[in-house]
Amino acid sequence: MQMKPLKFGSVKIDFPVVLAPMAGYTDSAMRTLCLEQGAGAVYSELTSAEGIRRDSKKTFQVLETGKGEHPIAGHIFGRDPQAMVEAAKQVEQMGIFDWVDLNCGCPVKKVVSRGAGAALMKDLPLLGEIIEKVKAAVSLPVTVKTRIGFNNDTPNHLEIAKVVEESGADMIAVHARLAKNFHGGDPDWEKLAEMKQALKIPIIGNGGINTPEDVAHMIDATGVDGVMIGRAAIGNPWIFEEVKGCSSAFSRLMQEQPPKGGTTSPLNRRNMMVEHLKRLVKLNELKQRDSSRPHRYTPEEAACIQFRTHIPYYVKGMFDKKVLLMKLAHFLSVDAIIEEVDILVEKNS
């Protein structure tokens, strides 16, 4: 597997294996952990252009980033071209993002029902208009995250690719499944390969990446310029460092700095969970400090509730998840969660 730095516009991603944006997961706490473990770049969570346009504090909290969190894209969605333009300008003016990414692949019903996300693949003239107007309005590079299609009766992958490129996008990231299938079924890497052949702009492949070896298989099968990892990174930020270890293009670097052995041992997972929780607490402290409304939970309690979605992935294959998750439903302190995890780590050591 040969991997070269990915360049588009003013952005250079030295290691083109990036973290996918995932609502409810890839906040600053998770993104910074993945960057430290080797991710080449990250995206903000999916952010409403209308929310940015209305200057919603809650929306802007989704765009919070950590110190040194680069390269990073401001990932926005919407269907109104003017709202997308105004949101993109705001993202650029924040001065913390390296590029603007436009979502036209999210299949979630509440997004699609607004005519946004994956729904834009059914209206390619509108998609092209949004890309053109955003590109003309900002100086940052503009990219698109999409899928190979909405369903079998709507524009196909090559039609989508053509519109994205001709409208001026600097790069495209493609999930190799139809929107109607969400994350189900096998990804269609053949269509990724066809898009790569048809495009002059770089393409990042997404979908079907579960192991470090899958990254090599995707690149060999499709020729994509980079790979995006989503759910396989939840509870497993080490996957990016493991991909580096599999990459012959980085063999010299890895000989000088070999990958840390046993990164997924129970003890290392426990320590990563502690760090993740600490960052979530800090993130909630910042959010509550910027909000004048009363809060039902303290920052620590809110962090513990949010972390419940990550825990099954951190302990996958190691602990009795059912027992642990039943107990965690009642834990609202970092110490209580870690105390329970410590018991399980000792049992599995």
Catalytic residues, by residue number, are 106
- Beta-carbon neighbour count of residue 127 at 10 Å? 25
CA separation for the pair 282, 299 (Å, rounded)? 8
Half-sphere exposure of 102 (CA within 13 A, CB side): 39
The encoded tokens of residue 86 equal 């105004």
CA separation for the pair 310, 276 (Å, rounded)? 9
CA distances, 81 to each of 84, 88, 115 (Å) = 5, 10, 12
**Cβ(22)–Cβ(231) under 8 Å?**
yes
DSSP letters spanning 199-239: -SS-EEEES---SHHHHHHHHHHH--SEEEE-GGGTT-TTH
Half-sphere exposure of 267 (CA within 13 A, CB side): 4
DSSP letters spanning 298-333: -HHHHHHHHHTTTHHHHTTTTS-HHHHHHHHTT--S
Work out whether the CA dihedral 168, 169, 175, 181 comes out positive or negative. negative
The encoded tokens of residue 191 equal 């269509």
Residue 102, amino acid: L
Work out whether the CA dihedral 165, 169, 175, 180 comes out positive or negative. negative
Instruction: Say if residue 244 is exposed, middle or buried (CB neighbours under 10 Å; 0-12, 13-18, 19+).
Output: buried
CA separation for the pair 273, 302 (Å, rounded)? 15
CA separation for the pair 114, 104 (Å, rounded)? 12
